[in-house]
Structure 1
């Protein structure tokens, strides 16, 4: 089970034109914005990555507007785990459960998940927060991550799993977010 004290949210490359042309783009971007707000409500650390922003552009505003208290980690590697600044930031959280969201499922999300799993992290992929330019590539990416040992979840499932109790201000806030 996900516990908010053990979990970190990792956002991968939700940038520029690519974010607008992935399969089911509007739905995916909306869900990522929701999970970011939920993570903040639950006080989860959020690590935010951008792949070569000079060329691909910056994180879409729908998501970036919820991350104004931090800056993205720039990378040129497909796997975030191959970027030293990310590994250091992840280790500093002290958390071993990683919730993954981003694009593209079959490239950067998949390679990040593979490296995280190989390095002892528990990985849960938010299936409604990942996409690729084609639905087929996204599905293949999810299947390969599951074969490696990643678990598949959704925004609503993950947030309520970490909330654990159906009362209080956090519960009310999360309930509003997912409706």
Structure 2
């Protein structure tokens, strides 16, 4: 099981992986707990963040994927990870009950698992509970997930928190990864500054003035 020391350990580019669970085009249309435009931007932002820091990802869909009624994964995910195979599930609601998905998670060799899923109360909560039971430290990206109503979403998050999951958001995940990456190799972190500033300017509440000032200083 996850110890207190494990639980308090920060996210790093070496200990974290991201699972995108059923972030599908048609499913997303039913989400009302968060603005859809914001939700899609946050999911794409998390995908690009994972790519930027070299985090392994596992992708899955339900209902037959792109050929089924729930649609394919959002384009922002597949654009970021075109080389990653998608585990298409049919009839298995808990992704961790699919041997292919469970094997892909294990293959990441990471114990800090960041989850983004649609919906929080259905396709995300079940594998999250299974991961916690298996000793993983689960982080739920609350602004890159959603449910049919805010009340439903809140109830699912409360259940997950009671089970030991950590609620977080995309901007906070970035800050934690960037901080630990800088502590490990400051020069490598500095070399990513242009990419980081573009990401901050695009996917977080950071005002565009930050990006403009950075560009001006680099000119």
1:92 aligned partner: 107
List aligned pairs for 1:2-151, cutoff 5 A: 2-23=11-32, 24-52=35-63, 53=65, 54-76=68-90, 77-151=92-166
Give 1:152 shift: 0.7
Give 1:171 shift: 4.3
Query: Which structure has more helix as a fraction of its residues?
Result: 2
C-alpha RMSD of matched pairs (Å):
1.5
Q: State whether residues 119 and 147 of structure 2, in contact with CA within 8 Å, keep that contact through their aligned partners in structure 1.
A: yes
> Secondary structure at 2:11's aligned position in 1?
coil
Q: State whether residues 163 and 171 of structure 1, in contact with CA within 8 Å, keep that contact through their aligned partners in structure 2.
A: no
Aligned-partner Cα distance in 1 for 2:191–2:29: 34
> Secondary structure at 2:60's aligned position in 1?
strand
Q: State whether residues 159 and 174 of structure 1, in contact with CA within 8 Å, keep that contact through their aligned partners in structure 2.
A: no
- TM-score in terms of structure 1 length: 0.93
Q: Which runs of 5+ in 2 are unaligned?
A: 1-9, 202-219
Aligned-partner Cα distance in 1 for 2:79–2:196: 18
Aligned-partner Cα distance in 1 for 2:191–2:39: 26
**Mean Cα deviation higher: 19-28 or 33-42:** 19-28
Structure 1 or 2, whichever has the larger Rg, is 2
Q: Which has the higher contact order (CA 8 A, sep 6+)?
A: 1
Give 1:29 shift: 1.2
Query: Which structure has more strand as a fraction of its residues?
Result: 1
Aligned-partner Cα distance in 1 for 2:109–2:193: 25
Q: State whether residues 115 and 140 of structure 2, in contact with CA within 8 Å, keep that contact through their aligned partners in structure 1.
A: yes
> Secondary structure at 1:98's aligned position in 2?
strand
**Mean Cα deviation higher: 133-142 or 31-40:** 133-142
Aligned-partner Cα distance in 2 for 1:64–1:20: 18
> Secondary structure at 2:144's aligned position in 1?
strand
Q: Which runs of 5+ in 1 are unaligned?
A: none
